Amino acid sequence: MTPVLSRRDLLAAGGLVVAFSLRSAPGDAAEQGSGPHPAGPTVPMGSLKETPLLDAWIRVAPDGHVTVFTGKAELGQGLKTALLQVAAEQLDMNPEWIALVTADTARTADEGFTAGSHSMQDSGTAILNAAAQVRGLLRDAAAVEFGVPADTLSIADGMVRAADGRSIGYGPLAAKLDLHVEATPGRPLKDPATYRLMGTPMPRVDIPGKLTGGASYVQDIRLPGMLHARAIRQPSVGAKLLEFDTGPVERMPGVVKVVREGSYLAVVADKEWHAIKAMRALTAAARWQETATLPDEATVLDMIRQLPARDIPVLTWKAAAAAPVKQLRARYTRPYVMHGSIGPSCAVAQFVDGTMTVWTHTQGVYPLRSALASLLRLPPEQVRCIHVEGSGCYGHNGADDVAGDAALIARSMPGRAVRVQWMREQEHTSEPYGCAMIAEVEGAVDADGRIVDWDYGVWSNTHNRRPNVGGLMLQNAALPEPLPVPPPAPIPMPEGGGERNSNPLYALPNARVVSHFIPRMPMRVSALRSLGAYLNVFAIESFMDELAEAAGVDPVTFRLRHLQDDRARAVIQLAADKFGWSGARTPGEGRGFAFARYKNLGAYCAVALTLRVEHETGQIRLGRVVAAVDSGQAINPDGIRNQIEGAIIQSASWTLYEAVHFDHRRILSRDWSGYPIMRFPAVPESVSVHIVPRPGEPFLGTGEAGQGPTAAAIANALRDATGARLRDVPFTAPKVKAAVGV
């Protein structure tokens, strides 16, 4: 019998240690090559750093089937497909032979949140390395089996072949291997020039099921004996539930139970429609004591600007520069914005023998497990969170809180599975919003049209109130014994929260950037796609155009003049070329350009677009949109295009239409009529996305790269089309009409 080989044995038997071309330091990312590189902690391993055991990521069954595990979640961004491509590429297998298990506290690594465009850097890089190492171990095991040098073997389609024609599958080889070993930094990856799958468009594995009525979402879960429940939300922050008679509702058809704990109120029924009717009856019957806790919508930005702030220096650059000849100053703002998922949040929970199992579309199964455990006063090991897809979330929406509803209600119905889906008005009024923000900037250009000074401040609440303790759950304040609520905290740079992308990528001789972190939150806020980057990039890229205009320089030329990063320059040039920036203009049409590198660490994205303004209404009509993106090594290029197209449309919707409305007590944006978003007649005439190929370079993520540039490109095009410079998002038709005049 062949002994089980350890990694150490294999390395001693001649495992070649060669570097792979992924590096962690962003500054040297443009450097090419994959020559010898000392193994060490500086080599990026993604989430293998925290979870180094290979079998936490990849297992090979005796029949040769491979299962890949990721702690990240499919949010509609195409994660599953991209991770399968990575694993199949490095394992030399058909992706169809690989099963993928996504975030589940009982089965997968703790990879925190699926957020911040980190999935490919964290999980993609981990699986890339783990798969390459497993492939290496399998090959080395085959070398021992056949008694030939490993480098004489070839691998294809999950089989290892010797030069003499003998072959063996991964299954029998894996049976001789122990994959419960730590990954080794510095093991070789395949040469990017040989990639068959990574970098090639692959149809998304989840799309066919979604187009044929397959059970694709947590909303589609049907467990035996499952009950349906609805919560009756507090109508306003801090509202206190007064005594009222729940008897009539308890006697309604199908009603199983009314749950009441302090000001927390919910109803359980046999069928969903019965639960909804009972919820409506309870909503009508319940009496609340409300107080006015919300700010004045008309003046909320000025109020935020004046709240006590903790000043966090982001950067200070000082160098000799020519004398300024023109100085500008401007203020840019955005209001509270909704995630606005099309499918209201949903969860299913079941409490069996003291253990709570929750099927959830949270972005972080492990943090949610901690939060639910503390909310329910259970030990964390008695809570299991399993990710199941939901409607797109775009950040911290109602996903976690509806899991809190399901778990609280399921606890009162031991043994029974309970499904809770929020109603539309609950989603609109209860989700944590993307926070209102202000940026103020002063800048100066010299006689040669170069920026000589830059002074930038941004005012924002936190962008992260994702729950990891019960005190951060929506239900906490309604329960009789609320848990302590942790104080809000800033997200430190280099990623940043409100200050994300407040540091310009431009090479400026003198610059000061300060983040004014405001602890007091007039409104419940948390992470919304791209966090502060949307407002900061909108502000910086609008102001770049304002300075370019003051200097009398073409805005694309002006940007290139202030950029030393070659990859940034390449993306800008590609977008300008594909757009035809230097070509002929169409009368009546405005054009705008903007660029950013997300977080100055992630993907590079430039957007050029055209628009027209209907002078009778002030309505902006988007024309041609052209984007260029550098996401590092592309896995699924069509997935990257899909994400950037989505970022452009979603950002255009934020920029043209969106603001949460409220009075002093309640949220008034209760449905899609009170919170309009972009509909088909208003989408651009065309959107095209061009990818800069970067084989072998680190993954940079994609999902949040396009939002900021799109907003600024619209503002710049509006200025170009009409002469009006708008600095306060959204650019609603009445606002544009007032600014343009008729």
Interaction site with other proteins (CB under 8 A):
75-78, 203-204, 206-208, 210-217, 219-220, 222, 228, 253, 271-273, 276, 340-344, 389-392, 394, 421, 423-424, 638, 642-643, 645-650, 653, 671-673, 677-681, 683-684, 686-687
| Min separation Cβ 625 and other proteins, Å | 9
Kindly state the DSSP code that residue 433 receives in the 8-state scheme: B
**Main-chain phi, psi angles of 444, to 5 degrees:** -145, 145
| Min separation Cβ 228 and other proteins, Å | 8
- DSSP run (H or E) holding 230: strand 227-232
- DSSP run (H or E) holding 264: strand 264-269
| Min separation Cβ 98 and other proteins, Å | 20
| Min separation Cβ 332 and other proteins, Å | 23
| Min separation Cβ 392 and other proteins, Å | 3
Residue number, 102 or 184, with CB nearest to other proteins: 102
3-state secondary structure of 456: strand
**Main-chain phi, psi angles of 383, to 5 degrees:** -125, 130
Residue 715 to residue 593: CA distance in whole angstroms: 9
Residue 681 to residue 677: CA distance in whole angstroms: 12
DSSP string, 670-734: -STTTS----GGGS-SEEEEEE---TTSPP---TTSSHHHHHHHHHHHHHHHHS----BS---HH
Residue number, 687 or 715, with CB nearest to other proteins: 687
Residue number, 304 or 528, with CB nearest to other proteins: 528
Residue number, 516 or 612, with CB nearest to other proteins: 612
Residue number, 197 or 314, with CB nearest to other proteins: 197
Residue 38's Cβ-count burial label (10 Å; 0-12, 13-18, 19+) is: exposed
Closest by Cα among 459, 485, 460 to 472: 485
Residue number, 189 or 266, with CB nearest to other proteins: 266
Peptide bond into 494 cis (omega under 30): yes
With a CB cutoff of 8 Å and minimum separation 6, the contacts of 655 are 538, 710, 711, 714, 715, 729, 730, 731
| Min separation Cβ 681 and other proteins, Å | 5
CB contact burial 118-139 (16+ within 10 A = b; e otherwise): bbbbbbbbbbbbbbbbbbbbbb
Q: Two tokens at 30?
A: 């443009």
**Main-chain phi, psi angles of 300, to 5 degrees:** -65, -35
3-state secondary structure of 107: coil
Residue number, 521 or 683, with CB nearest to other proteins: 683
The answer to whether the beta carbons of residues 138 and 173 sit under 8 Å apart is yes
| Min separation Cβ 254 and other proteins, Å | 9
Residue number, 573 or 688, with CB nearest to other proteins: 688
Residue number, 21 or 707, with CB nearest to other proteins: 707
| Min separation Cβ 428 and other proteins, Å | 9
| Min separation Cβ 721 and other proteins, Å | 22
CA–CA distances in Å: residue 124 to residues 22, 388, 472:
12, 19, 30
| Min separation Cβ 159 and other proteins, Å | 31
| Min separation Cβ 707 and other proteins, Å | 10
Residue number, 191 or 671, with CB nearest to other proteins: 671
Residue number, 140 or 427, with CB nearest to other proteins: 427
Residue 289 to residue 244: CA distance in whole angstroms: 12
Residue 254 to residue 486: CA distance in whole angstroms: 40
Residue number, 345 or 476, with CB nearest to other proteins: 345
| Min separation Cβ 434 and other proteins, Å | 13
Residue number, 76 or 555, with CB nearest to other proteins: 76
Residue number, 37 or 624, with CB nearest to other proteins: 624
Task: Output the CA torsion 636→638→643→644 (10° steps).
Answer: 120
Residue number, 490 or 639, with CB nearest to other proteins: 639
With a CB cutoff of 8 Å and minimum separation 6, the contacts of 646 are none
| Min separation Cβ 337 and other proteins, Å | 12
The answer to whether the beta carbons of residues 506 and 559 sit under 8 Å apart is yes
Closest by Cα among 408, 404, 398 to 430: 398
Residue 590 to residue 715: CA distance in whole angstroms: 10
| Min separation Cβ 464 and other proteins, Å | 21
Q: Two tokens at 560?
A: 């290139």
| Min separation Cβ 76 and other proteins, Å | 3
Residue number, 27 or 213, with CB nearest to other proteins: 213
| Min separation Cβ 207 and other proteins, Å | 5
Closest by Cα among 3, 29, 33, 8 to 19: 33
Residue number, 356 or 620, with CB nearest to other proteins: 620
**Main-chain phi, psi angles of 528, to 5 degrees:** -125, 135
**Main-chain phi, psi angles of 273, to 5 degrees:** -65, -35
Residue 28 to residue 37: CA distance in whole angstroms: 14
Residue 592 to residue 594: CA distance in whole angstroms: 7
Strand order, beta sheet including 346-352? 255-261, 264-269, 227-232, 417-421, 346-352, 355-360, 383-387
Residue number, 384 or 428, with CB nearest to other proteins: 428
Residue 26 to residue 626: CA distance in whole angstroms: 26
| Min separation Cβ 672 and other proteins, Å | 4
| Min separation Cβ 467 and other proteins, Å | 22
The answer to whether the beta carbons of residues 731 and 718 sit under 8 Å apart is yes
Instruction: Catalogue the E-assigned strands of 572-638.
Output: 590-597, 604-614, 619-630
